[in-house]
Structure 1
Amino acid sequence: MEKLLSDEEALVVLQKIMNIFPDAKGELKWDSVFHLLCAVMMSAQTTDKMVNKVTPNFNQKFPDSKSLKNASLSEIESTIKVIGLYRTKAKHLKETATILTDRFNGVVPREKQTLITLPGVGEKTANVVLAEAFQIPAIAVDTHVSRISKLFKIVPAKATPHQIEKRLEEILPQEQWIHAHHALIAFGRYKLPARKKGIDPYSLLS
């Protein structure tokens, strides 16, 4: 049975990671809450850099939910074609834009339980929108957050994203949730990328 860090030990690790990246922040580029939501939906299983290449043209073509709702699926697909899973993402973007236009007057909801009812919006996407757009404390568990949390034995090797989110929320003060999320991503992206095998993660904390 794997030995996990205690709450106190895990907090020390997380504080060190936050200290390494005191200014960590989201790297997706956005100019409105609606475009942030779209960008996060597009970012699943692709890089923020790839999404940032797509969004200037996407944002110009579809300035609001109504314009995206009224666009043809083929037009949306051709606009985001360079990112992975573009057909599924285009379908979800159009469906979500339709719901936002028809039910919410084009305004992105501020409630997590409402956000996750939108097509293509899971906990991670909802949490990013809450944290980035509204500064509502949330921890979005992406591949970096998951991998680093498991490497340091903060969570079990088979923990689900939801379990990781809840564990990190238990350990950290609420006012640190957003920073911790960004710092864990930065640590995973720049200090310990997945391609670096066999490195003691603790050697990177000093």
Structure 2
Amino acid sequence: MPAALDVATETPLARTRRARRIVRLLGEIHPDARIALHFDNALELLVATVLSAQCTDKKVNEVTPAVFARYPSAAAYAGADRAELEAMLRPTGFFRAKANSLIGIGAALTERFGGEVPGSLDALVTLPGVGRKTANVVLGHAFGTPGVTVDTHVGRLSRRFGLTDQNDPVRVEAELCALLEPRDWTIASDRMIFHGRRYCHARRPACGACALARLCPSFGLGPTEAGEAARLVRGTRGDVEALR
């Protein structure tokens, strides 16, 4: 069992080094880490990300092929029949609000951006229903512009790792950006999301099966016995060495 890590006495340099090592190890644990939403262009990713709010990526991926075929352009969303669009979005939940967002996004893109999804955060967050989280997803995965996406997993793991004590996503984003190299911002988010889904669950993290145990001040929140912890791990590729 690793010794407890005291982040209260950690220097800023030590925290930066630890944060970057965590991201590297997450890459070894989750070499398949990637965005789970299916898309072929920036508009499709923007739509899928809006639909993913309070919905699983799996369900979004089941719904979007028909949506993308029916609405292939910003103008198509702007001119969508609301009842028809709502019916298509119903399985994703909050379908009325999401339909409003997509129709508004279509109109804004058509009127202000020539029908194209803009490639800057400042422009993206002016679109209806688009905040920094959605904007960073689009920038990082459709435009190759690095950005930290702070969803529930990234926020939770950042606090458990002792990389921040903030709850506000914008502040968490700022602190992670200060710790990590810009080239790693997007992939760090993807890896943390995978780790949150597979190991570091909200209720019972699989501490005893986690290769980050020696770097994590929250080790012990979940079962530390390897066998018990291993039963909590979900959907991984192969075994991971515990307590590296």
Among 171, 183, 186, the alignment partner of 2:191 is 183
Alpha-carbon distance in structure 2 between the residues aligned to 1:38 and 1:3: 42
Alpha-carbon distance in structure 1 between the residues aligned to 2:31 and 2:106: 35
Residue 34 of structure 1 deviates from its aligned partner by: 0.7
Report the structure number with the largest CA radius of gyration.
2
Does residue 67 (structure 1) correspond to residue 72 (structure 2)? The answer is no
Does residue 29 (structure 1) correspond to residue 38 (structure 2)? The answer is yes
Q: Which amino acid aligns with 2:167?
A: A
Match in the other structure for 1:83: 92
Alpha-carbon distance in structure 1 between the residues aligned to 2:189 and 2:22: 13
Residue 137 of structure 1 deviates from its aligned partner by: 0.8
**CA deviation profile, 1:149-182 (whole Å, cap 9, x unmatched):** 11111111x4211111111111111111121111
Q: Which amino acid aligns with 1:174?
A: P
Say whether the 8 Å CA contact 1:18–1:184 is kept in structure 2.
no
Alpha-carbon distance in structure 1 between the residues aligned to 2:243 and 2:19: 13
Structure 1 gaps, min length 5: none
How many pairs are equivalent? 204
Match in the other structure for 1:18: 27
Q: Which amino acid aligns with 1:181?
A: S
Alpha-carbon distance in structure 1 between the residues aligned to 2:113 and 2:243: 45
With normalisation by structure 1, the TM-score equals: 0.91
Does residue 166 (structure 1) correspond to residue 174 (structure 2)? The answer is yes
When the two chains are superposed, the root-mean-square deviation of aligned CA atoms in Å is 1.9
**CA deviation profile, 1:21-75 (whole Å, cap 9, x unmatched):** 2331101001221111000011112111111111011111111111111112211
Q: Which amino acid aligns with 2:199?
A: K
Say whether the 8 Å CA contact 1:4–1:155 is kept in structure 2.
no
Q: Which amino acid aligns with 2:187?
A: H
Say whether the 8 Å CA contact 2:26–2:191 is kept in structure 1.
yes
Say whether the 8 Å CA contact 2:19–2:180 is kept in structure 1.
no
Among 126, 132, 138, the alignment partner of 2:141 is 132
Does residue 113 (structure 1) correspond to residue 118 (structure 2)? The answer is no
Structure 2 gaps, min length 5: 1-6, 214-241
Does residue 153 (structure 1) correspond to residue 162 (structure 2)? The answer is yes
With normalisation by structure 2, the TM-score equals: 0.78
Say whether the 8 Å CA contact 2:43–2:117 is kept in structure 1.
yes
Say whether the 8 Å CA contact 1:4–1:153 is kept in structure 2.
no
- Larger RCO of the pair (alpha carbons < 8 Å, separation 6+): 1
Alpha-carbon distance in structure 1 between the residues aligned to 2:115 and 2:185: 28
